[in-house]
Amino acid sequence: MFGRYTINIDTDLPGLLGGKGAGLFMMRQMGLPVPPAFVITVPSYHAFMQNGHSFLEGDLLDEIKDRIKELETTSQKRYGDPQNALLLSIRSGAPVSMPGMMDTVLNVGMNDEIREALAIASGDDDFAFQCHCRLLKMLGISMFGINKKKFEIDQEGMSLENVVCIYKQVVSEAAAKTKYPNVVDNVWEQLLCCIEGVLCSWHNHRAKHYRRIFQIPDSIGTAAIVQSMVFGNISKDSGTGVVFSRCPATGDRKVTGEYLMRCQGEDVVGGEAACKPIAMLEQDAPIVYRELLRVCRLLEYVYRDIQDVEFTFERGKLYILQTRSAKRCPQAMLKFLASAVSEQLISEQEAYRRGNLLRKSAIERCYVRERVVASDENCQIVGYGDVACPGIVRGYLAFSSTEVLELLSHGKQAVLLKQYTNPDDIAGIDKAVGMFTSSGGTMSHAAVVCRELGKTCIVNTGISINAKSGFAVCDKEQVIKRGDQITLDGSIGVIWNGNSSIERLPDDPDLIKFADWLLGK
């Protein structure tokens, strides 16, 4: 089923291991540096649910213990041994992407004794206390449903040891009446509690809500990944980050992303810390940087798609924690598909298949790189404003919905000019090719309607309107009159009067060719 470099694409790995588990499995097969892990499979989740959450006392419990022994051998650490403790992360991983909806617990396998030993081994008390605090907080919130405010204590003048004591008390009180009353001190209770909690998080309120909205069947279930922890916050030559194998905004073939020295993954994703651009890693950790670039190329080659890669480096050694297809804008997707065909990464047929999954309107936006040019000397810019909905359109000036309808009845396209974006112009907006206003903002109700209808809209132009007399006075005293030819350049918020033409700007020829091809042009 698996070779070292090739994969049988018929294997439903995500269905068995969940998306995240399948990614780890694949990376391990490719020989990439992945922290040792095992996966509690999706079928095991179903067995767990069918057996009233009690199967952990049966065969699976024995298998989990066997797998922990394997992790101990691979990592040369022992679970629960203060002298050389193996700490674990327990993560959910469904076959379909449900980012952030289910639970994850880090630093599982920690208690007071192990924390003290970890502090000595790392030579860093704060690091050990922070790891312990993080575990207790995640355990409390995710596993026992404790309100996170209970962990938001004023730590001013308080030692980290006291903070840990308070956190322990909060969790112990909640755990006392459950089947894991000693979860704070007993590392095996911790492990089972977290596995059970992560599997059950498939049914938490947010996850169910997410599935209902995006019509993901409840019956799918999830996997759980038990993985050896690596620490990006353990030393000066440690860190963590996220990279994309290509730019997700443009599709350009350049590794982009960010990282933090001496931090854990959540600090990067949380957005609270000031991250460094990935290029700076070349100075901070050159070996890690070069290895990371190589991994990105390899992952993209195997997955044939832009990859979003989470990594940590511990004492100068790189670990890849996760890879998945990157979220990217349609423009970047098209650019990637066009480039991937040129690079012989994917076939034309595959590019065509994937490109066709994009909405037609998204593909058409590839041609947005257009500009308005004056066709004669009478054509000029008469105003500027804020773009509420982009696009370049031409039509004849109308001051009301009725005028729009009248122009239409004569086969003419209309551009509507109003004092402000008034919702009761919806019929006019619907029938006009675009609208512009004197005042009003880009977040008004009518701007919302314009965007929903896909009508170009420029607001806040400052144009003074005299609709009764059929004219308006623009920025430099230029006058525009009812029925004048108007062009709205909603890419930059400019209004033209007179005979204009729309010119396509030079763009990536591969991209345009590919978009033309997809649209059958």
Partner 1 sequence: MNTLFDQKLSILRLISLEGLIEDNRLINLLSSRALFRDENEIKSNLDILRDEGAVEMVASGYRSLTELGKLNMTESLQKKRKDLLPALKDNIWPRFKELDSDLKKVLTMWQIMPDGSLNVHEDHEYDFEVIERLLSIHDRLCDLFNDDYRMECEFNGLLTYLSDAISAIDEGQLEFIVGTSVNSYHNLWRELHEDLLCTLGIAREEQ
CA distance 194 to 394: 61
- Bridge-based pairing state of the strands 479-481 and 471-473: antiparallel
Quote the DSSP letter at residue 275. P
Give CA angle at 293 (288, 299), nearest 5°: 120
Tokens of 430: 């619907």
Shortest distance, position 401 Cβ to partner 1, whole Å: 5
C-beta of 349 vs 409, nearer to partner 1: 409
User: In whole angstroms, what is the distance from residue 353 CA to residue 183 CA?
Assistant: 50
Q: Which residue is associated with the tokens 């804020």?
A: 386
Q: Residue 349 burial (CB < 10 Å; 0-12/13-18/19+)? A: exposed
- Give the residue, chosen from 16, 49, 61, 362, that forms a contact with partner 1 under the rule CB under 8 A: 362
Q: How far is the CB of 212 from partner 1 (least distance, A)?
A: 6
Give whichever of 317 and 365 is closer to partner 1, judged by the CB atom.
365
Q: Which of 3, 99, 217, 520 binds partner 1 (CB under 8 A)?
A: 99
Which has the closest alpha carbon to 483: 383, 413, 401?
Answer: 413
Binding segment for partner 1 (CB under 8 A), chosen from 71-79, 96-104, 120-128, 287-295, is 96-104
Only one of the segments 25-33, 85-93, 170-178, 205-213 lies at the binding site for partner 1 (rule: CB under 8 A); that segment is 205-213
Q: How far is CA 116 from the centre of its chain?
A: 37
CB 160 within 8 A of CB 191: no
How many helices (H) and strands (E) in the chain? Answer: 19, 22
Stretch of 146-154, 210-218, 483-491, 512-520 lying at the interface with partner 1 (CB under 8 A)? 210-218
Mark residues 307-346: x for contact with partner 1 by CB under 8 A, - for none.
Answer: --------------------x-xxx---------------
From the CB of 207, what's the least distance to partner 1, in Å?
10
The answer to whether 519 contacts partner 1 (rule: CB under 8 A) is: no
Q: Which is nearer to partner 1, 137 or 418 (CB)?
A: 418
Query: CA 75 → CA 4, 21, 35, 265, distances in Å?
Result: 22, 19, 8, 20
Span 432-491, contacts to partner 1 by CB under 8 A: 442-445, 447-449, 451-453
Q: How far is the CB of 243 from partner 1 (least distance, A)?
A: 18
Cα-atom radius of gyration of the chain, to the nearest Å? 29
Residue numbers 211-230 binding partner 1 by CB under 8 A:
212-215
Binding site for partner 1 (CB under 8 A): 97, 99-101, 209-210, 212-215, 249, 327, 329-331, 358-359, 361-362, 365, 390, 401-402, 405-406, 409, 419-420, 422-428, 430, 442-445, 447-449, 451-453
